[in-house]
Structure 1
Amino acid sequence: MIEKYKNSSLNHPNSKMIMQLLNQDEEAAKYVGGCVRDALLKLETLDIDIATKHEPQEIIKILSTKEIKVIAPGLKHGTITAIIDDLTFEITTLRRDKSTDGRYAEVEYTNDWLIDAERRDFTINAIYMSQDGEIFDPFNGVEHLKKQVINFIGDTNERINEDHLRILRFFRFSSNYGNAISKKTLNIVKKHKDKITTLSPERIQKEFFKILSSNNSFKTIVEMKKIGLLDIIYSGEVVTDSLERMINIDEENFFDVDTFLRFFILMPKAHNLSSNLDLFRFSNKDNKRIDTLLKNKNQVKSYLSVKEVRKFLYLFGSNNFIDLIRISWSEDKKISNSTHWRALLAMASSWEIPALPIKARDVMLSGVPEGPIVGEILDELEKWWIDSDFIDDKHSLIERMRSIVRAKI
């Protein structure tokens, strides 16, 4: 019974309701893919995939009886998305591929569970589960999941030719669920590696960042580098040892995984985005973050004084400063410096960043007319205040402000 997966989202009342609706007359729907895989591994997921014999319009009609919110961005591929509270259900009609070109597939509907399974990528993604918890596993995916082996379904060459993104997906699933990468499979993937250039930058970036999000990504990146796949993604310097240190630092210090920082540390000269990263696209926000890291990362050293730490915290903000610590620490090959880096983190987390006590109103009350000169005086006062280690004495600040005013007015 599915109750044995009591901590899984598959056992949630909303999941049960969806399945009961789809299975009213016959067993016409099963859980499939990542949600089943995660349930077997006792991992939580909020995204639930369901395969069904019902066609899309029929799915919409069934769900409308309970006024369930439905969106259909994947309608032409046979997918309906249902959203209930925090759970998202991707409900897809059983399909077979009529034709593929390495990027997109033309599909037709079927009622055959095995045919639907045969078109999937890896055996661990072709495990189906009924609403009662019964497993349909035509390619021994459960066994492969236990052994931490990532196998393509059927002929590896055919699966890759159907969808070139499977080259990167192979490494992503190897990183998250695999133990060791098969040399035989790796050699086949190597033969097809150039085909990722047919994919959109957005798809490549999304998949590559998913690889970096795994704490086993170091070994995976090394394998990608060995077969020349990284050279296609990025032709510049790749620093895998810094990535390994960052992953270890993240684990030891309970940092949330930051795939952007991992990308930055792996490809430290990737800031020339227009020429070096043709396969990647970054938002203005990400580009601004890159700019901040590049301009300031060489200023952050393990031996910073308390005064210097406070200065950088004030100038960069705590989040940016912690990013800079993580970057610089990961590039530091001297293990004995770890104690100093941890001390910097402690200071960054405990010091409350102050605000300059003197405001524009105070400057104008001293006889300065409103205008740009007020900002100039405040800027100069702020620099002195920072250099004084943020002196908490308003009288001294006022005296300094008056000195600046006398010199300028």
Structure 2
Amino acid sequence: MTTLQGAPFLADPRLARVLEVLNGAGEETRIVGGAVRNALLCVPVKEVDLATTAHPDETTRRAEAAGLKAVPTGIAHGTVTVVIDGAPFEVTTLREDVETDGRHAVVRFGRDWLHDAQRRDFTMNALFATPDGTVIDLVGGLADLDARKVRFIGDPERRIREDYLRILRLFRFHATYGTGPLDAAALTAAIRCRAGLSGLSRERVRAEMLKLLAAPDAPPTVEAMSDAGFLTRVLGGVGDLPGLRRLAGLERALGHAPDPVLRLAVLAVRVAEDADRLRERLRLTNDEHRRLLSLAEGAIAADMAPRAAHALLYRLGRTTFADRVLLGAARKDVPLRNAQAALALAEGWEPPVFPVRAAHFLERGLKPGPDLGAALARAEVAWIAAGFPQGEEAVAELVKGAMERA
């Protein structure tokens, strides 16, 4: 018998209380999906979802009777979020698909655990656990989990046609939990159904792609996507696969967490138009688009002279400077020590304060207005080029030079 006993999340008294409230009197509630999968893989459990025989109305009634908050987050699909001491637990009634169109499903609530398991995507995501931690496997998920094999439940093509996003989820889950090549039947079905990707919302595609790129071992899976023709379909361009591999290696060597937006930039952004195209195709956030635009301006050589590096640091800031150093290192395959040195320089450097003020020019007779702003800008450019000098003498020289160049 497989059990989750000893899993940290199972000892949470808030979870125990929710299960106590929802179980009994003819109803049964189990832990389902990612929490069970991750606990068995000794991967951190970030959220706990529950499946129940209780109708959503009954889930709400029981929660509120126990003094818990019940939020109807997805009533049409049987989901009520029960909140206890600030912790949310999604509780979904057992269900079967009545009708699907590749994006949305009409469901019928039921009480059959096997039917509920069979409507899910992958075998490793259809594992249940009872409140005491006993794992219940109705679709062969334990064997696939042991083999690190991401396999669709039942007929892969049918599962995909229920929701075409499952094509991208196949690659994302393989990058996160799988080993070796993709499941052959799953990949064949994905290729047959690839036209269905065009009907998905850009927001859903963005979420899956960024989650895929955030997987530590994303590069081999992205290469498989490219070989199967999906990368160009999703991104609208050819990806820099060697660059992505080098960036992932740099992140591991430097102890950095995978950065999905930086990985996207290395993979697919060379010029500003690439960033604009990705914003539209993936419905990127404004911050993500701005970051890609900044990276499109060019990489930074990791072995540049300290004075030039300091000038760029002052202009770009630490975060953008580090982004461009890593971009350059990934694109040009520079030695790790060079990238480490450039990043250490950025981390240890405190940006100086520009010592020249408007008052310095006003004292010399310059009037407020555009000329004053231009003089300050010229002085700052000269100050950066001179290596950020400080002191009254330096200020006087900068002000004098800026006025002479007016």
User: Which TM-score bucket, shorter chain as reference?
Assistant: over 0.9
Report sequence identity in percent.
30
**Cα offset, 1:400, TM superposition:** 2.2
Corresponding residue for 1:284?
286
**Cα offset, 1:83, TM superposition:** 3.6
Give 1:282's aligned amino acid: L
Corresponding residue for 2:165?
165
Q: Is the 8 A contact 1:237 1:268 kept in 2?
A: no
Corresponding residue for 1:329?
329
Q: Secondary structure at the match of 2:388?
A: coil
| Greater Cα offset, 338-347 or 71-80 | 71-80
**Cα offset, 1:131, TM superposition:** 0.8
Q: Is the 8 A contact 2:239 2:267 kept in 1?
A: yes
Corresponding residue for 2:220?
219
In structure 2, how many angstroms separate the alpha carbons of the residues matched to 1:384 and 1:322? 24
**Cα offset, 1:407, TM superposition:** 6.0
Q: 1:407 to 1:380 in 2, by over 3 A?
A: closer
Q: Secondary structure at the match of 1:88?
A: strand
**Cα offset, 1:306, TM superposition:** 0.6
In structure 2, how many angstroms separate the alpha carbons of the residues matched to 1:396 and 1:70? 66
**Cα offset, 1:2, TM superposition:** 7.3
2:392 equivalent among 391, 394, 399: 394
Corresponding residue for 1:240?
241
Q: Secondary structure at the match of 1:296?
A: coil
Q: Is the 8 A contact 1:5 1:39 kept in 2?
A: no
Q: 1:379 to 1:38 in 2, by over 3 A?
A: same
**Cα offset, 1:328, TM superposition:** 0.6
Give 1:253's aligned amino acid: L
Whether 1:49 aligns to 2:41 is no
Q: 1:252 to 1:270 in 2, by over 3 A?
A: same
Q: 1:226 to 1:270 in 2, by over 3 A?
A: farther
Corresponding residue for 2:143?
143
Q: Is the 8 A contact 2:5 2:132 kept in 1?
A: no
Q: 1:407 to 1:208 in 2, by over 3 A?
A: closer
Q: 1:373 to 1:147 in 2, by over 3 A?
A: same
Q: 1:280 to 1:67 in 2, by over 3 A?
A: same
Q: Secondary structure at the match of 2:366?
A: coil
Give 1:354's aligned amino acid: P
Q: Is the 8 A contact 1:46 1:88 kept in 2?
A: no
Q: 1:380 to 1:25 in 2, by over 3 A?
A: same
In structure 2, how many angstroms separate the alpha carbons of the residues matched to 1:86 and 1:251? 35
In structure 1, how many angstroms separate the alpha carbons of the residues matched to 2:359 and 2:17? 62
Q: Secondary structure at the match of 1:47?
A: coil
Corresponding residue for 1:119?
119
**Cα offset, 1:288, TM superposition:** 1.7
Give 2:58's aligned amino acid: E
Q: Is the 8 A contact 1:126 1:141 kept in 2?
A: yes
Corresponding residue for 1:385?
383
**Cα offset, 1:290, TM superposition:** 1.7
In structure 2, how many angstroms separate the alpha carbons of the residues matched to 1:87 and 1:47? 9
Q: Secondary structure at the match of 1:346?
A: helix
The two structures have a TM-score, normalised by structure 1, of: 0.92
In structure 1, how many angstroms separate the alpha carbons of the residues matched to 2:338 and 2:243? 18
| Greater Cα offset, 40-49 or 191-200 | 40-49
Q: Deviations over 1:17-47 (max 9, x none)?
A: 1111111435511010001111112222232
In structure 2, how many angstroms separate the alpha carbons of the residues matched to 1:278 and 1:141? 37
Q: 1:57 to 1:119 in 2, by over 3 A?
A: same
In structure 1, how many angstroms separate the alpha carbons of the residues matched to 2:351 and 2:284? 30
| Greater Cα offset, 314-323 or 216-225 | 216-225
Q: Is the 8 A contact 1:46 1:87 kept in 2?
A: no
In structure 2, how many angstroms separate the alpha carbons of the residues matched to 1:3 and 1:315? 52
**Cα offset, 1:207, TM superposition:** 0.7
Whether 1:340 aligns to 2:342 is no
**Consecutive unaligned residues in structure 1, runs of 5 or more:** none
CA RMSD of aligned residues (A): 2.1
**Consecutive unaligned residues in structure 2, runs of 5 or more:** none
Q: Is the 8 A contact 2:122 2:152 kept in 1?
A: yes
In structure 1, how many angstroms separate the alpha carbons of the residues matched to 2:347 and 2:85? 34
